[in-house]
Amino acid sequence: MAKITVDGNEIEVEEGRTILQALDDSGLLMNGIDIPHYCWHPKLAVDGSCRLCQVEVEGIPKLQIACDTQVKDGMVVTTANERVRRAREGVMELLLVNHPLDCPICDQAGECKLQDYAYEYGVDASRTREPRRALKKRVDLGPTIVFDQERCILCRRCVRFCREIPKTGELAVFNRGDHSVIDTFPGEELNNDYSMNVADICPVGALTTKDFRFKIRVWFLEDVPGICTGCSTGCNVHLGVANNKVYRYVPRRNDEVNETWICDKGRMSYREIGSADRLDRCSVRNHEGRFESTSLDAAVEASAARLAKLVESKGAGVIAGIASAHATTEDLFVFRRFLAALGSETSGVAVVRGDSDDILVREEKAPNAAGARAIGFADAKGVVDRINSGGVDAVVMLGHDALNESLLGGADALRGLDTVVVLDTHASELQHVAHVMFPVRHAAEKHGLLVNAEGRAQRVEPAVEPAWEAYSDGEVLAKIGAALGLEGFDGRFDVHEVSRELARSNLAFSGIDLDTVGAAGQPLATVVADSPATGGEPR
């Protein structure tokens, strides 16, 4: 370890780290000690070209760039004196010499580092009278990204990203000097599974995503912390919310989970939240076999009546439960208790599997498979086998992941059953076979915990309030349980209370409380990850 002093703050850092890394490690960078930077990014190789992070190091006559100067024990760094200020001012002025200053029509305005640093470290008047560089304003780089060459400040973060993270290397700097432009190689396009991250790391408005471009001014957006539900990695995101609508996901840094990245598929999964196929009302199948909307109470009543009848005639053994790894841990815990109190002996969690890579994408396409397993749900395969062999008369299902090829293979497998009760966020084939359907909330619409593949409990909170009827799974199950007169069910559902009860009753969750889990999540007490995932050890 080395001890360094930055602006009077003593910091202990690992040997071999650079000044910027040391400040980043200690959480002080841009949070107490401001060293503006463009080309440096905590998760990319050092470039050392923007020259904005120059600082004074005692004993070295020239200013040094903080991104590429390794700490030495006893090093004394000054980041805020007249000389450093002048150097920053100089770099800012030069960066703006050719910048089009088209902030009024630039999508980055409001979250632009060039704007921010120009206010903070720049001069307020321009001394240049020369014509600015005229370049292409709308270069279509590929399916996801549009590039404005004029706004680019050539920090080359995007170039390094493509080389170092997806390792596809589509981007390069062409030409040299002030003719330099970023582009793809002739005939190639920027097209990889992580391509949209370049828009996040672009400090200016040069790279924007086709998806978010011109949708809304960023200062209208509220950033709500949340979790991507695309796979079991559980990438941390900020949901950009305005007008009770989610406009985008951007990755939220969590070095234990997704660093600063998110895959394109996951990023685009925000669209599921407000999609047109959301279930928006409770429905019950009537005597003529037609589905009709009804009230929550009527749907609860109908479910309870059907299940009670079956218990009476055949016993609870013919009732099966299929859980969803999209539900929160609290919802799943209530479901688990519901099935136990009912006396059902057949249950499992349905998880859709798909492609994975060695960066972030995992095979299990739901955010809470590990949570479901920790609560005690086995794979839904057993349930499916029993249904197919005719040993089941009723199913209570969360979500529709069980329709997947590898499990039920479609709704027809449930057609002959006496009772199918479905709690789901989105419409599916289940509409054709269900007897009762409840519209439930998406993870972006409720409080709860999701446990990722590495066994890390991560919190979600309501970012938007559905403009239609929607309930937590736990809320619906609590009501059905009460209607059935099950032990421990009084019809109430308090997610915080459920979380505490889970912590008390399940060793894996001991010490984990929805109200105290921090922004970076908290690992389960015992590791339960039966993880087909790649990369990273369970922590």
- Report the C-alpha gap between 7 and 3 in whole angstroms: 13
Nearer to another protein, 138 or 179 (CB): 179
Nearer to another protein, 97 or 467 (CB): 97
74 burial type by CB count under 10 A (0-12 exposed, 13-18 middle, 19+ buried): exposed
Letters for 200-229 (x = contact with another protein by CB under 8 A, - = none) are: ------------------------------
- Report the C-alpha gap between 192 and 64 in whole angstroms: 36
In degrees and rounded to multiples of 5, residue 140 shows phi and psi of -80, 100
Taking CB under 8 A as the binding criterion, the range among 16-24, 51-59, 355-363, 460-468 that sits at the site for another protein is 51-59
Nearer to another protein, 64 or 431 (CB): 64
Edge-first strand listing for the sheet containing 54-57: 9-13, 2-6, 76-78, 54-57, 64-65
For 478, residues 6+ apart whose C-beta sits below 8 A from its C-beta are 334, 489, 490, 491, 492, 493
Under the criterion CB under 8 A, does residue 52 sit at the interface with another protein? yes
Distance between alpha carbon 476 and the CA centroid of its chain, in Å?
A: 26
At position 204, the amino acid (one-letter code) is V
> In the range 163-182, which residues lie near another protein by CB under 8 A?
173, 175-180
Under the criterion CB under 8 A, does residue 87 sit at the interface with another protein? yes
Under the criterion CB under 8 A, does residue 505 sit at the interface with another protein? no
User: Number of residues in contact with another protein, rule: CB under 8 A?
Assistant: 33
Eight-state DSSP code of residue 204:
S
Contact criterion met (CB below 8 Å) for 448 and 331: yes
Least distance in angstroms from the C-beta of 39 to another protein: 9
Contact criterion met (CB below 8 Å) for 456 and 519: no
Taking CB under 8 A as the binding criterion, the range among 62-70, 291-299, 411-419, 500-508 that sits at the site for another protein is 62-70
Least distance in angstroms from the C-beta of 153 to another protein: 8
Placement of tokens 């915990």 in the chain: 449
- Report the C-alpha gap between 227 and 489 in whole angstroms: 30
Least distance in angstroms from the C-beta of 173 to another protein: 7
Under the criterion CB under 8 A, does residue 62 sit at the interface with another protein? yes
Least distance in angstroms from the C-beta of 176 to another protein: 5
Under the criterion CB under 8 A, does residue 68 sit at the interface with another protein? yes
Under the criterion CB under 8 A, does residue 54 sit at the interface with another protein? yes
In the three-class reduction of DSSP (H, G, I as helix; E, B as strand; rest coil), residue 89 is classed as helix
Under the criterion CB under 8 A, does residue 192 sit at the interface with another protein? no
Least distance in angstroms from the C-beta of 46 to another protein: 8
Nearer to another protein, 69 or 329 (CB): 69
- Report the C-alpha gap between 14 and 37 in whole angstroms: 21
Least distance in angstroms from the C-beta of 92 to another protein: 9
Under the criterion CB under 8 A, does residue 195 sit at the interface with another protein? no
- Report the C-alpha gap between 344 and 361 in whole angstroms: 35
Least distance in angstroms from the C-beta of 172 to another protein: 8
Contact criterion met (CB below 8 Å) for 158 and 207: yes
Among 55, 152, 153, 307, binds another protein (CB under 8 A): 153
At position 367, the amino acid (one-letter code) is P
> Which residue ranges make up the site for another protein (CB under 8 A)?
46-52, 54, 62-63, 68, 87, 90-91, 93-95, 97-98, 127-131, 153-154, 173, 175-180
